[in-house]
């Protein structure tokens, strides 16, 4: 059956996604390019989102997963903005949802029925639908103002982010500006974003109009020429929220052995590799060591090389390919190496080999850096973190603490909370788990204070003690969602955030930090080794240490958003956030406050701190087993740091003098 020639209307959200990923429109507008997602998941996530946006929100139902929780938090923020407008303007707030779409009514018919209420009668118009030039959308709010004596309605969007409107926010508002002008003949002077913090950011339309018009032309060309059918999936910032990531792009990357799964790979690295004909992870791994040995002394040891050859043989039997077939394009480029900084290229090559070994043999290999490599990494880091390597990792002792936090970035629209401070300490020869819960900002500070006082007292009594933590990758995810300066990315910064106005506690914390009491095992891992894993999260590294979590089944790594397992146990940090949301905000959703949710969170947190301790033990044992490394903790080379800085300054000064002399020579005509 031929495809309909009627072009689908685009939405501002689709345009924003297209900016990050041109392949998005290929999948969105060409159903034959997609798998049958409806059968596998019921209805599409996007359809669910559009229904929520277009038909308004009634009673706030409990979220079904982490992504749905974020959507509902956004809806709640919008509702609060609406209530603020009603309190200020009363009946002058016009709510389009009261005239909502009838069953089976098309968006176009609905827009015609709503008409144009921007006649100056209303101060605020809520959820005004628009169609203009092939784009449709629903403005959160239109706010009446005057410009040169004329009534103008300025678009206002409510966004959950607490600081800094993003590019996509502005583009949506610029579309509404264009649509308002089309209906009223008056272009709004400003656009506004109501942030989750309660602050408003305003922008002059004239500052961004040229960009929107240029983007318009590019978009029209992409749609009309159907050039999107030639696109291919590429890893981008939109992947984390894209409806097609798990069912479309990720399986395609897996099938093609894509480089996107290589840990530590950046987009510029991938582009450089592609330019010389290296397009698969196995292809990078299979570059002969002889091509790299002349530029690096740090390659594979004999045991690892044998494991890689075994893995390649398995790959060849399963795939029916050989190295000549995957290197045909590279050989066409005369075996030219990609334009990547040499040390980085070696690291990526080793990482690819380690991951190929894991994929083919199901064994996770590791490669420890040489002592010299670790020392070089230390000279690149700031003084307070220069000890975070295997060389300087302290031995375990009876007074150590293993610590982990659980936080919710959107506990309330305006602010987040660290709701659990968890740690283990040794008592009477046994490790004991301690959980400090906070259910509001007052108790959060109280628990943080109690924790710092405990750690400080312990340090004063046992100065040999250390506080070990593992800054999880999920913290980066949550801080990105908050978009407010990353206050939850570090154990130390979390505590410091609670003591900004409390000098005594801040002084105690600073004393612990300056003494080097806090040790980030994630930094130790990154500065000391490479492993055949796609990430360096605790969930992956604990496998090396042989740690088994307290649950019935260990889910597959990187499975699709399964934050809570079938047995009720939590798999990811996002799952802990979701469970706490349903507990802390149970009244908001009209559900029972289930204490078992807190127990599941505590079990998950306890696993984290115990895994951190076991990883520490594993790292210490690996250092002792490695004949190329010192078998005990090495002192941090403070003198070497000063010498390195001094040499660097001398080189810079010499270069500056050379440049000045060259300029003076040119001026004098010499």
Same domain, 215 and 177: yes
Residue 531 lies in a domain: yes
Structure confidence at residue 659 (pLDDT) = 53
Task: Give dist(CA 10, CA 178) in Å, integer.
Answer: 15
Structure confidence at residue 568 (pLDDT) = 43
**In the predicted model, is pLDDT for residue 148 greater than 80?**
yes
**DSSP labels for 301-337?**
-HHHHHHHHHHHHHHHHHH---HHHHTHHHHHTTTPP
Residue 210 lies in a domain: yes
Structure confidence at residue 347 (pLDDT) = 92
As a whole number, mean pLDDT of residues 93-111 equals 80
Q: Tokens 């659990």 correspond to what residue?
A: 420
As a whole number, mean pLDDT of residues 563-571 equals 44
**In the predicted model, is pLDDT for residue 565 greater than 70?**
no
As a whole number, mean pLDDT of residues 27-43 equals 53
Same domain, 564 and 494: yes
Structure confidence at residue 378 (pLDDT) = 73
Greater confidence, 545 or 414? 545
Q: How many domains does the chain have?
A: 4
CB atoms within 10 A of CB 636: 17
Same domain, 224 and 289: no
Same domain, 161 and 269: no
Structure confidence at residue 638 (pLDDT) = 64
Provide the pLDDT confidence category of residue 489 given band limits of 50, 70 and 90.
Answer: low
Greater confidence, 568 or 414? 414
Last residue within a domain, chosen from 214, 230, 246: 230
Last residue within a domain, chosen from 299, 330, 363: 363
Beta strands in 14-123 (DSSP E): 93-95
Residue 622: which residues within 8 A CB-CB, separation 6 or more? 366, 368, 390
Same domain, 459 and 567: yes
Greater confidence, 183 or 165? 183
Task: Give dist(CA 649, CA 608) in Å, integer.
Answer: 43
As a whole number, mean pLDDT of residues 566-595 equals 79
Greater confidence, 112 or 378? 112
Last residue within a domain, chosen from 196, 230, 264: 230
Residue 378 lies in a domain: no
What are the distances in angstroms from CA 10 to CA 13, 44, 136, 210? 8, 17, 6, 20
The packing angle between helices 45-55 and 66-89, to 10°, is 10
Same domain, 336 and 470: no
As a whole number, mean pLDDT of residues 400-416 equals 89
Task: Give dist(CA 653, CA 356) in Å, integer.
Answer: 46
Task: Give dist(CA 276, CA 332) in Å, integer.
Answer: 8
Structure confidence at residue 292 (pLDDT) = 77
> Domain containing 421 — which CATH number?
3.30.420
CA-nearest of 261, 265, 281, 350 to 534 is 261
As a whole number, mean pLDDT of residues 365-385 equals 79
As a whole number, mean pLDDT of residues 119-143 equals 93
Query: What pLDDT digit, counting tens, does each position of 441-485 carry?
Result: 999 999 999 999 999 999 999 999 999 999 754 444 344 444 444
Query: What pLDDT digit, counting tens, does each position of 274-312 carry?
Result: 999 999 999 999 998 888 765 555 667 788 889 999 999
Lowest model confidence (mean pLDDT) among 312-316, 375-379, 478-482: 478-482
Q: For residue 311, what are the domain limits?
A: 256-363
Query: What pLDDT digit, counting tens, does each position of 629-651 carry?
Result: 998 998 876 644 444 444 545 55
Provide the pLDDT confidence category of residue 155 given band limits of 50, 70 and 90.
Answer: very high
Distance of CA 207 to the CA centre of its chain: 30
Q: Are 157 and 172 in contact (CB under 8 A)?
A: yes
Same domain, 285 and 425: no
CA-nearest of 264, 256, 320, 246 to 283 is 256
Q: What percent of the chain has pLDDT over 70?
A: 79
Q: What are the structure tokens assigned to 560, written together?
A: 């699709």
CB atoms within 10 A of CB 213: 11
Same domain, 342 and 469: no
**In the predicted model, is pLDDT for residue 36 greater than 90?**
no
Residue 251 lies in a domain: no
Query: What pLDDT digit, counting tens, does each position of 217-240 carry?
Result: 877 776 666 554 578 888 887 787
H or E element in which residue 49 lies: helix 45-55
Structure confidence at residue 664 (pLDDT) = 55
Residue 630 lies in a domain: no
**In the predicted model, is pLDDT for residue 621 greater than 80?**
yes
Dihedral sign for Cα atoms in the order 298, 303, 306, 311: negative
- List, in sequence order, every residue forming a beta bridge with 401; answer none if it has no partner: 467
Dihedral sign for Cα atoms in the order 505, 509, 511, 517: positive
Residue 368 lies in a domain: no
Structure confidence at residue 385 (pLDDT) = 64
Provide the pLDDT confidence category of residue 105 given band limits of 50, 70 and 90.
Answer: confident
Lowest model confidence (mean pLDDT) among 263-267, 372-376, 485-489: 485-489
Structure confidence at residue 60 (pLDDT) = 76
As a whole number, mean pLDDT of residues 375-382 equals 73
Q: What are the structure tokens assigned to 413, written together?
A: 């629209």
Same domain, 351 and 441: no
- List, in sequence order, every residue forming a beta bridge with 10; answer none if it has no partner: 135
Same domain, 395 and 267: no
As a whole number, mean pLDDT of residues 529-538 equals 93
Provide the pLDDT confidence category of residue 41 given band limits of 50, 70 and 90.
Answer: very low
Dihedral sign for Cα atoms in the order 630, 634, 638, 641: positive
Same domain, 398 and 470: yes
Structure confidence at residue 191 (pLDDT) = 95
What are the distances in angstroms from CA 161 to CA 82, 167, 238, 416? 17, 12, 16, 12
Same domain, 533 and 502: yes
Greater confidence, 467 or 106? 467
Task: Give dist(CA 626, CA 183) in Å, integer.
Answer: 74
Structure confidence at residue 168 (pLDDT) = 76
Residue 136 DSSP SS3: strand
Beta strands in 499-639 (DSSP E): 518-520, 529-531
Structure confidence at residue 92 (pLDDT) = 96
Structure confidence at residue 98 (pLDDT) = 56
Residue 195 lies in a domain: yes
Q: Are 135 and 106 in contact (CB under 8 A)?
A: no
Task: Give dist(CA 43, CA 58) in Å, integer.
Answer: 20
Residue 375 lies in a domain: no
């Amino acid at each position: 059956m031929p495809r309909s020639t009627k072009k689908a209307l685009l939405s501002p959200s689709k345009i924003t996604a297209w900016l990050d990923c041109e392949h998005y429109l290929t999948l969105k507008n060409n159903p034959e390019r997609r798998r049958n997602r409806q059968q596998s998941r019921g209805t599409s996530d996007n359809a669910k989102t559009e229904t929520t946006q277009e038909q308004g929100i009634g009673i706030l139902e409990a979220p079904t997963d982490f992504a749905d929780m974020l959507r509902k938090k956004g809806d709640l923020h919008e509702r609060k903005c609406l209530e603020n407008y009603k309190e200020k303007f009363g009946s002058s707030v016009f709510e389009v949802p009261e005239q909502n779409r009838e069953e089976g009514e098309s968006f176009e018919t609905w827009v015609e029925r709503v008409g144009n209420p921007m006649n100056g009668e209303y101060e605020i118009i809520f959820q005004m639908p628009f169609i203009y030039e092939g784009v449709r959308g629903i403005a959160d709010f239109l706010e009446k103002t005057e410009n040169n004596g004329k009534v103008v309605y300025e678009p206002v969007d409510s966004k959950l982010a607490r600081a800094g409107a993003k590019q996509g926010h502005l583009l949506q508002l610029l579309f509404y500006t264009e649509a308002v002008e089309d209906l009223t003949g008056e272009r709004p002077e400003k656009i506004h974003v109501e942030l989750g913090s309660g602050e408003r950011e305003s922008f002059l339309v004239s500052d961004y109009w040229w960009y929107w018009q240029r983007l318009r032309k590019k978009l029209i060309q992409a749609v009309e020429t159907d050039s999107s059918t030639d696109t291919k999936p590429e890893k981008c910032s939109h992947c984390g929220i894209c409806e097609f990531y798990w069912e479309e792009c990720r399986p395609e990357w897996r099938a093609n052995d894509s480089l996107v799964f290589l840990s530590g790979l950046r987009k510029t690295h991938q582009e450089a590799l592609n330019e010389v004909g290296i397009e698969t992870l196995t292809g990078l791994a299979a570059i002969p060591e002889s091509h790299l040995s002349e530029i690096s002394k740090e390659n594979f040891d004999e045991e690892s090389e044998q494991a890689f050859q075994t893995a390649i043989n398995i790959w060849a039997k399963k795939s029916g390919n050989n190295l000549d077939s995957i290197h045909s394009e590279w050989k066409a480029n005369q075996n030219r190496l990609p334009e990547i900084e040499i040390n980085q290229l070696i690291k990526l090559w080793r990482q690819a080999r380690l991951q190929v070994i894991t994929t083919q043999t199901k064994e996770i290999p590791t490669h420890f850096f040489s002592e010299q490599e670790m020392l070089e990494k230390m000279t690149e880091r700031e003084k307070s973190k220069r000890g975070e390597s295997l060389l300087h990792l302290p031995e375990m002792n009876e007074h150590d603490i293993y610590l982990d936090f659980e936080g919710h970035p959107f506990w309330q629209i305006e602010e987040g909370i660290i709701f659990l401070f968890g740690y283990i300490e040794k008592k009477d020869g046994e490790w004991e788990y301690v959980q400090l819960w906070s259910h509001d900002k007052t108790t959060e500070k109280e628990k943080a204070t109690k924790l710092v006082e405990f750690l400080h007292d312990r340090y004063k009594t046992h100065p040999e003690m250390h506080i070990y933590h593992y800054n999880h990758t999920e913290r980066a995810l949550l801080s990105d969602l908050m978009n407010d300066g990353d206050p939850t990315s570090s154990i130390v910064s979390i505590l410091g955030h609670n003591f900004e106005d409390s000098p005594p506690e801040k002084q105690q914390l600073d004393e612990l930090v300056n003494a080097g009491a806090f040790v980030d095992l994630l930094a130790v891992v990154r500065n000391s080794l490479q492993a055949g894993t796609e990430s360096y999260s605790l969930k992956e590294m604990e496998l090396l240490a042989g740690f088994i979590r307290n649950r019935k089944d260990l889910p597959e790594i990187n499975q699709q958003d399964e934050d809570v397992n079938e047995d009720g146990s939590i798999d990811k940090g996002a799952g802990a956030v979701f469970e706490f949301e349903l507990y802390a905000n149970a009244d908001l959703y009209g559900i029972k406050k289930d204490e078992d949710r807190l127990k599941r969170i505590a079990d998950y947190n306890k696993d984290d701190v115990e895994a951190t301790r076991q990883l520490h033990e594993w790292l210490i044992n690996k250092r002792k087993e490695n004949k190329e490394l010192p078998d005990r903790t090495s002192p941090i080379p403070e003198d070497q740091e000063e010498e390195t800085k001094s040499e660097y300054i001398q080189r810079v000064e010499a270069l500056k003098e050379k440049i000045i002399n060259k300029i003076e020579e040119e001026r004098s005509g010499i």
